[in-house]
Amino acid sequence: MNESPTNSPWLSRFAWLTAGLTLILISVGGLVTSKGVGMSVPDWPTTYGYNMFLFPVSQWVGGIFYEHSHRLIGSVVGLFTALLTARIWEREAKGWSRRLVYGFILAALAMMGVRSQVSFIVMAVVALLVGIYAGNRAWEEERPLRWWALVAFCAVIVQGVLGGLRVTAMKDAIGIVHGTIAQLFLVLLCLLALCTGRFWQRLKQVASDHAIPGSLRSLLLLATLLIFAQLLLGASMRHQHAGLAVPDFPLAHGRLYPATDPDSMALYNSRRMDHREPKDIQPFHIHLHMAHRAMALVLVGMIPYAAIRVRRALGSTVPAAGQLATAWIGLIVVQAGLGVVTVLTNKPADIATLHVVVGAVTLVVGVVLTVMAREFSIATTRTVLQSRPRPLAAGAPQPQA
């Protein structure tokens, strides 16, 4: 993702604020899943028949409190993302395309309070198509910031509708997609915040004079992709609503790898005494859980190694990158610890939710470091290219005012 033509500290701050709100939204969503209260408000887009913004506070009881709060915070994040997108388009575009985007944003905001589920589904389909188009433009353009912002806005619409459909269609699979898009959306907002800030401008200046090894760039990309895969595994585990498939650590049902024959599965299920009475576990849940542990082991080794290499390569040139790398090590250690505690304490909602949140932040740091490393590699290439005279190709995109 390239930078905006002029950096804007306030735009960047607003983007960070939106990202922070998104992290809170993910936390509350994590609590909803951890507490098993996602279906406590059976209707959507209404809440117990009310316009969701008018649902009486006196009725925010039990699981409703978490689910309804999640919906309201989601609406605020949607509104903030709309403002952020509009502001970025105001700065970076003009003419009919900007007017079109404004119209799209206004149309989406006008949907708040609409009670028809079909209308929201239609809007989500439109947002999905617009998002795919914007994503394609973002890949093609040299200055793609506004297109990424539009992708973020489309993502928040699709994400909101998926959350609603998770409730009304009663499908766990939608919950997995909902949980995964949430992480990607957070990453996108953080990148928007990063690229609109002064730090990014300074980084680009430094990057033009320094190079980092290509192997480090690949390592960071691989580690980040593995973190995302780990989050996918985690979301799949959580949204099965089958509770802890393996309740002990470091062994698993007393062995290195648990037996999954029918008799063993029956015994595991009969020994579960959780008052939340989750669904019976199946062999699939055991394999999923063990894959999550194996991946954790890989990441606990890979992230510190990659972080130390970042510190060596960039620590003196870009101190913030070194600090971020150190924080990355801390995050993976804390995250692994939270995973162990989650197992040993039978997955209490607060610990399990913290595990989700730290996982999301770990992914964000991985993406930021990967993007920074990519910028260094590009900068090296540019330095070489700039030393050669190059004619401007006819029809090449011109910078916009």
Partner 1 sequence: MNMKLQLGSILALGMSVQLASAGDITGTIKLTGSAPAEREISTMDPLCRKLHPDKLPTTRFYMTGAEKGLADVVVYLKGITGKSGGAAAEPVVLDQKNCEYLPYVTAAQTGQTITVKNSDPLMHNVHPVPKNRSAGNKEDNKVQMPKAAPLNFTFPAEELFLTFKCDVHPWMFSYVSVFDHPYFAVTDETGKFKISGVPAGKYTVAVVHRKANAGKEVTKDIEVTDAGAVVDLSLEAK
- Check residue 51 for interaction with partner 1 (CB under 8 A): no
- Check residue 62 for interaction with partner 1 (CB under 8 A): yes
- Check residue 64 for interaction with partner 1 (CB under 8 A): yes
- Check residue 350 for interaction with partner 1 (CB under 8 A): no
Please give the size of the binding site for partner 1, defined by CB under 8 A: 29
Q: What is the DSSP string of 310-377?
A: HHHHHTTT-HHHHHHHHHHHHHHHHHHHHHHHHHHTT--HHHHHHHHHHHHHHHHHHHHHHHHHHHHH
Token pair for 85: 């997108």
**Looking at 7, 8, 69, 269, which residue binds partner 1 (CB under 8 A)?**
269
Give the residue from 200, 204, 148, 205 showing the smallest Cα distance to 8. Answer: 200
- Check residue 48 for interaction with partner 1 (CB under 8 A): yes
**Looking at 107, 125, 170, 173, which residue binds partner 1 (CB under 8 A)?**
170
- Check residue 61 for interaction with partner 1 (CB under 8 A): yes
Give the residue from 17, 156, 19, 148 showing the smallest Cα distance to 88. Answer: 148
- Check residue 63 for interaction with partner 1 (CB under 8 A): yes
| Residues written for the chain | 401
**Looking at 39, 109, 177, 229, which residue binds partner 1 (CB under 8 A)?**
39
Q: How far apart are the first and last CA of the chain?
A: 19
Residues 6+ apart with CB under 8 A from 70: 25, 28, 29, 31, 32, 163
300, amino acid identity: V
Q: What is the DSSP string of 255-305?
A: BSS---SHHHHHHHHHT---TT-PPPP-HHHHHHHHHHHHHHHHHHHHHHH
Pair 355, 335: CB distance under 8 Å: yes
- Check residue 110 for interaction with partner 1 (CB under 8 A): no
- Check residue 344 for interaction with partner 1 (CB under 8 A): no
**Looking at 3, 17, 36, 334, which residue binds partner 1 (CB under 8 A)?**
36
- Check residue 172 for interaction with partner 1 (CB under 8 A): no
Binding segment for partner 1 (CB under 8 A), chosen from 34-42, 119-127, 143-151, 157-165, is: 34-42
Q: Cβ closer to partner 1: 64 or 206?
A: 64
**Looking at 173, 267, 298, 333, which residue binds partner 1 (CB under 8 A)?**
267
- Residue 244 CA, distance from chain mean position: 23
Binding segment for partner 1 (CB under 8 A), chosen from 57-65, 92-100, 187-195, 355-363, is: 57-65
Token pair for 127: 């947002």
Q: Cβ 383 to partner 1, closest distance in Å? A: 58
6, amino acid identity: T
Q: Cβ 214 to partner 1, closest distance in Å? A: 50
Residues lying near partner 1 in the complex (CB under 8 A): 35-43, 48-49, 59, 61-64, 167, 170, 263, 266-267, 269-271, 273, 275-277, 279
